[in-house]
Amino acid sequence: MGVTLESDTESNMNEGQTLAKEPLSTLSAVPSPTLLASSPGLPPNPPDSTSEQGSKTKSVLRDLRKVSTQRIHRSERIFQGTLLVGGLFVLALFATVLGVSLVEAWPSITKFGWSFLWTSTWNPHRHIFGAWTYIVGTFWVTGIALLFAIPIAILSSLFLSDYSPKWLVGAVSTLMEMLAGIPSIVFGAFGIIFMVPLLRDQVEPFLANTLGRHWDFFNGDAMGYGILAAGLVVGIMVIPLVATVTRDSLVMVPRETVEASYALGSTKAEMVFFVKLPAVVPGIIGSVILGFGRAIGETMAVLLLIGNQASIPTSIQDVGYTISSLLANTFTYAVIDPLYSAAEIELGLILLVISLVVNTLGRELLMKLMGGRLAGSVGGG
Amino acid sequence: MNFVKRSFGLAAALAVVSVLSGVGSANATDLTISGSTMLFPLEQVWANAYMKSHPGVHISVASTGSGFGISNAANGNITIGASDAYLTKDLRKRYESLASIPVAFDDTQVIYNIPGIGKSKLIRMDGPVLARIFMGKIRFWDDKAIRAINPSVKFPHQRIKVIHRADASGTTFVFTDYLSQTSKEWYDEIGRDLSPSWPVGSGYNGSDAVVAAVMATPGAIGYVGLGWINEYHLSSMALKNLDGYYVVGSVKTIRNAGKAALHDPTFPDDFNRSIVWNLHGKDVYPDANFEFWMVSTSLPAATMLEVKKMIIWALTKGQHEKYTVKTGFAPLPFAPLKPRLNKILNRLLPGNSLKIESGG
């Protein structure tokens, strides 16, 4: 961009503004100069040489410019107004969702107070509602999913960025993106026909016979369905998210850093492990937060696999219940009873607050660690 | 532009004509039926048959769950709400305008997957033992309580895996109703509900998923309605009834249960009681239920007339086996039903006496 060109247009704008001022002042709606400066398509300022051709041409040009700037001002305002509507709509939408949920959940909030959070009884029959079982179940599934997804995603992105042959990079990253776009119900069905029999007949008996001998945590009656199946399938859904963001940040590691590491005599493995990996830790954290957001709200796949039993899991083979799958299963019924539906909406609010808090914390963390370079990649869960 | 205007005019004219004819002969009516997922297949068959024989009536059917059916019929969002559960005292208080009309018989049966026990072997079960199984208090198939009822069956030492519905379901209501009526323990701790708080087991969404889970899990026990027993050729347990007989659910034994209930003089006229309750007889299945249609008495008169016609059709011609038995229900006996039904229909549309005669 030429500096001279920029200053030239700027002077044009200023002139255009003084010209436009006369008719607009009657409307008492003078646009700000900053707004004008951003408007493209102003007619070019006639060079000084034209003055030789007489004042007639000049006045015609001046009139023309007056009309066009006026028109531009109007369209600018309309455009600005339209954008404002869009922006306000999003705000209003969020306020409405939050407001309606709060109002609808109010009977439950006032009746149970904070104890709603740590009460583990959920009995619509007796009008006792508590969220603890469902919060625990939600974190179990999310935890298993992240524990499973993060190592695999990091290994795969390191392989892709430094060790993989070129032809494989394209194929794998395309597949990753496709994997991220598959609807969750498909993964749920895959879980039922593949994961459940595998867990029931192979993995869970194996776990019970090896680790289960020493720790009750790995024992249980092999069902296939349960927090393990749900967690693993959600993990599969989270892998592409974590892997893609991690690989993107690996690519962003400066070449000079890598070369400096080689210059100091490190091997490739040492370079990857001691230089590249620490450099992308913030990116990994960001992607994990993204994955957390995906995992915590996942509904359909979890509902199909978790075994929907409102009890707190004590073993990896146990069944459980998450907030989202409870809502999906019973909300159409809960509307029959105001307190019942209030309690379920309060559960939804808890889910909303958890993901808001985690996303905000994650964003703050990223801002601190990366100076906001990657913060944009951490969107809403 | 011109075309748009013209078609607008045409549409307006058509609308006027249809409104006029609607006022004149109550011809162009829209009925919406929504609710119970259990009753949905039968409603679909009914709607198609009824629309064919009654041109001008349009019926849309949706499967949204009994809870939705009850609450939306009460506030007038839909014309007919379908429900597997009758109106309990609580619900009657909340939705005063609702009248419940029984439209078919259904039941809940207990299915199982016990390794080493074939389909031909009949397993007997009674309420208290079944309740203790579903409460997690009996944990193995060779428990002495189960063996005591089935002296001729050799059970393996296998963990019992309880399988129940996760969504709010009328099937669950009927099943927990049986447990509540027969086991004090169950009544005190859990009670009957479309979505009770299950102490043990694992939950699945819909009866198909329950069947699949029971068939895939060795040691499993679960419950589904008659339609699924027939569809998947499952064998179910014989349940103990009030007189001590062990009865397997079938179209015949369910009908017997319904007849026994209707002949019982203490059975309430508004049908707001489970028919599981206190039934005598040898071949009477103890876990049968009515399927209900819920109609609000505050519907406008013109709509109500159509609704009443539709109900009477469903209760007479609609009970034919090609509709009911084919979709997994038992037909209602009309004769013992008639006096009670007349009362309900009069409540819906007083002073307008439609001749109710048995159609089939």
CATH number at B179 reads 3.40.190.10
Helix (H, G, I), strand (E, B) or coil at B298: coil
Residue B89's pLDDT band, with cuts at 50, 70 and 90, is confident
**B179 and B165 housed in the same domain:** yes
Going by pLDDT thresholds of 50, 70 and 90, the confidence category of residue A31 is: very low
Per the CB < 8 Å rule, is B195 touching A309?
no
Same domain, B239 and B128: yes
pLDDT band at A285 (very low <50, low <70, confident <90, very high): confident
User: Would an 8 Å CB–CB cutoff place A125 in contact with chain B?
Assistant: yes
Three-class DSSP category at B216? helix
pLDDT in tens, B254-302: 988 888 888 887 888 778 777 777 788 889 999 988 899 999 988 888 8
Give the residue carrying structure tokens 């499952």: B234
Are both B309 and B184 inside the same structural domain? Answer: no
Q: Is residue B131 part of a domain?
A: yes
User: For a pLDDT cut of 90, what percent of chain A falls above it?
Assistant: 35
Q: How many domains does chain B have?
A: 2
Place of tokens 């060079």: A47
B356 found inside a domain: no
B contact test, residue of A199, A223, A340 with most B CBs within 10 A? A223
Q: Do B187 and B243 fall into the same domain?
A: yes
CA distances for A330 relative to A94, A335, B197, B206, angstroms: 25, 9, 12, 12
Q: Which CATH number fits domain A114-370: 1.10.3720.10, 3.40.50.80, 1.10.10.1100, 1.10.940.10?
A: 1.10.3720.10
Interface test with A, best of B163, B167, B208 (most A CBs within 10 A): B167
B 200-229 residues inside an 8 A Cβ radius of A: 200-205, 209, 213, 216-217, 219
pTM exceeding the 0.90 threshold for the entire prediction: no
Q: Sign of the C-alpha dihedral, residues B200, B202, B205, B208? A: negative
Question: Distance from A235 to chain B by nearest Cα, in Å?
Answer: 21
Test A335 with B194 for CB contact under 8 angstroms: no
* Residue B156 touches chain A, beta carbons under 8 Å: no
Same domain, B242 and B309: no
Q: Say if B327 is an interface residue toward chain A (CB within 8 Å).
A: no
- Closest residue in A to B92 (Cα–Cα): A336
Average pLDDT over residues B107-129: 91
In 3-state terms, what secondary structure has residue B81?
strand
* B53 and B173 both lie in a single domain: no
Say if B1 falls within a structural domain: no
Q: Say if B275 falls within a structural domain.
A: no
Q: Hey, is the C-beta of B73 within 8 angstroms of any chain A C-beta?
A: no
A73 touches chain B (CB under 8 A): no
Predicted complex ipTM: 0.73
pLDDT at A43 (0 to 100): 53
Tell whether the model's pLDDT for residue A11 goes beyond 60: no
Region B56-85 average pLDDT: 88
pLDDT at B221 over 90: yes
> Torsion angle, CA of A107/A108/A113/A117, rounded to 10 degrees?
-160
Is B134 in the same domain as B244?
Answer: yes
Q: A305 in helix, strand or coil?
A: helix
Residue B167 included in any domain: yes
Contact A101, A345 (CB under 8 A): yes
Mean pLDDT of the B68-90 span = 87
> What's the mean pLDDT when you consider all of chain B?
84
Q: Is residue B357 included in any domain, yes or no?
A: no
Q: Residue B2 CB: number of other CB atoms within 10 A?
A: 6
H or E stretch including B30?
strand B29-35
* Average pLDDT for B98-127: 90
Terminal CA-to-CA distance of chain A, rounded, Å?
A: 39
Nearest-by-Cβ selection for B167 from A200, A304, A330:
A330
Distance (Å, rounded) from C-alpha A57 to C-alpha A51?
8
Query: Is residue B269 one of the residues assigned to a domain?
Result: no
Sequence-distant (6+) residues with CB within 8 A of B277 are B181, B261
Residue B152 has pLDDT above 60, yes or no: yes
Return the closest-CA partner of residue B67 out of B90, B42, B44: B90
Q: Does A335 touch chain B (CB under 8 A)?
A: yes
Window from A30-34, A80-84, B171-175, B271-275 with minimum mean pLDDT: A30-34
Chain B residues lying within 8 Å of A196, measured CB to CB: 216
Which structural domain, as residue segments, surrounds residue B243?
A: 109-262
Among B68, B194, B202, the residue with its CB nearest the CB of A223 is B202
Note whether B197 and B326 are same-domain residues.
no
User: How confident is the model at residue A99, as a pLDDT?
Assistant: 93
| Angstrom distance (rounded) from CA B303 to CA B305 | 5
- In chain A, where the domains are located: 114-370
* Angstroms from A194 CA to nearest CA on chain B: 13
- As a whole number, the mean pLDDT across chain A is 81
